Amino acid sequence: MTTHPSQTTDAAKWRADFPVLAREARPGVPLVYLDSTATSQKPVQVMEAMDRFYRWSNANVHRGIYGLAEEATALYEGGREKVRQFINARTVREIIFTRNTTEAINLVAYSWGRANLKAGDLVVYTEMEHHSNMVPWQMLAAERGVEVKAVPVTDTGELDRAVLTQLLAREPKLLCITHMSNVVGTINPIAEIAAEAHAAGALVLVDGAQSVPHLPVDVQTLGADFLAFSGHKMCGPTAIGVLWGRQAILDGMPPFLGGGDMIRKVKLYEYKYNDLPYKFEAGTPAIAEAVGLGAAVDYLTGIGMEVIAAHERQLIAYALERLEEVPGIRVYGPAAARRGGVAAFSFGDVHPHDVAQLLDRAGIAVRAGHHCAMPLHEHYDLPATTRASFYLYNVPEEVDRLVEALYQVKKLFS
């Protein structure tokens, strides 16, 4: 039997920081939250930081010369510096605040892509990508004849490296790849793949929406040129995300949006845009959200990303072992040692939506659908899966409740 994760971690203690986990899904039925891949819950430390900002420091940032505005600016830019340290970027100029991972990837597509790609140029992505790392490139292909090709996955949910090598031999301009799949949980060896891509002359854009909240990520060793991730999946608030890019590349990219704060000077018929990172941050930014994201970074750093990753490795190993006990369950993806805390599964002929609805009656919150990864589901000839995803605040007893409820689902449908 896999070692019980609660024996080696402080997950039960961390849970106390997340008020929602103490509530009942319905009277007498405790909540089991297993949907952190969609969005994480928020600790009180993040809520208090945002509340404190709105109560005592609220003002617009950057141009005010009165004390309150300067205080708000310091808090906002403090959030940026915390993110820089968290991913070990060389400078805060490389940290661009966006609304989410999707907007960060679209920023690259609209700015770098439209400035550097022409008809016939090749962009490569993978079959396991979230739609947000496919659709912007498909739109660019339709707009100007850029070619897109996908690296297939194996039946174990891992990249077909032979096909990747073949596509890189065609000298693509860009490789778009997820660090960790939001469906099968596969953790791709980005540093190794990025080195291969760079040798072929391609830049590398990494979707870090699932990796940055769960694994130690150091952009100086990752090997990528762009990294996109979201605050709301890493204990932070919604409506704020991050695009990290190498400064030399970002410097050469035109602005994405026009308006306030992204400009240095405007005349009636011309303008000059601002320096990094502000040339990509038009308009009033998500100030309180940046403060909240900084608090989330403090929270995760205080625990330690290695500690969180180790806890999740133990928890997913335990979950995979327990799920295998249930007749009819098929979990997709690689072994626990090569995946994050995600378990997407089918359950015989029972539709995933029915599974999720019945689990909800037992107080267990999971997600059912294609998880914004329809091509990956097509690979497995599935319309949808049920997905249980874990984070630092989950404990093995919740895995046990999930398995017990799945036995009840099986009993009902048999």
Q: How many helices (H) and strands (E) does the chain have?
A: 15, 17
DSSP string, 282-346: -SS--HHHHHHHHHHHHHHHHH-HHHHHHHHHHHHHHHHHHHTTSTTEEEESS-GGGB-SEEEEE
**Beta-ladder partners of 177:** 206
Tell me the domains of the chain and their CATH numbers. Answer: 5-30+304-413 (3.90.1150.10), 47-302 (3.40.640.10)
Rounded to whole angstroms, how far apart are CA atoms 260 and 58? Answer: 19
Q: In this structure, which long-range contacts are made by residues 224-229, counting pairs with CB atoms below 8 Å and at least 24 apart in sequence?
A: 224/190, 224/194, 225/249, 226/108, 226/112, 227/87, 228/98, 228/101, 228/104, 228/105, 228/108, 229/101, 229/104
What's the token pair of residue 98? 């966006």
* Active-site annotation holder among 92, 141, 358, 372: 372
pLDDT in tens, the chain (414 residues): 555 655 446 898 999 999 999 999 999 999 999 999 999 999 999 999 999 999 999 999 998 999 999 999 999 999 999 999 999 999 999 999 999 999 999 999 999 999 999 999 999 999 999 999 999 999 999 999 999 999 999 999 999 999 999 999 999 999 999 999 999 999 999 999 999 999 999 999 999 999 999 999 999 999 999 999 999 999 999 999 999 999 999 999 999 899 999 999 999 999 999 999 999 999 999 999 999 999 999 999 999 999 999 999 999 999 999 999 999 999 999 999 999 999 999 999 999 999 999 999 999 999 999 999 999 999 999 999 999 999 999 999 999 999 999 999 999 998
Say which residues have a Cβ less than 8 Å from residue 206's Cβ, sequence separation at least 6.
Answer: 177, 178, 179, 190, 194, 222, 224, 226, 227, 228
- What is the predicted pLDDT for the residue at 63? 86
Is 176 one of the annotated active-site residues of the chain?
no
122-126/263-266 β-pairing: unpaired
Of 174, 104, 188, the residue nearest 137 (C-alpha): 174
- What is the predicted pLDDT for the residue at 4? 61
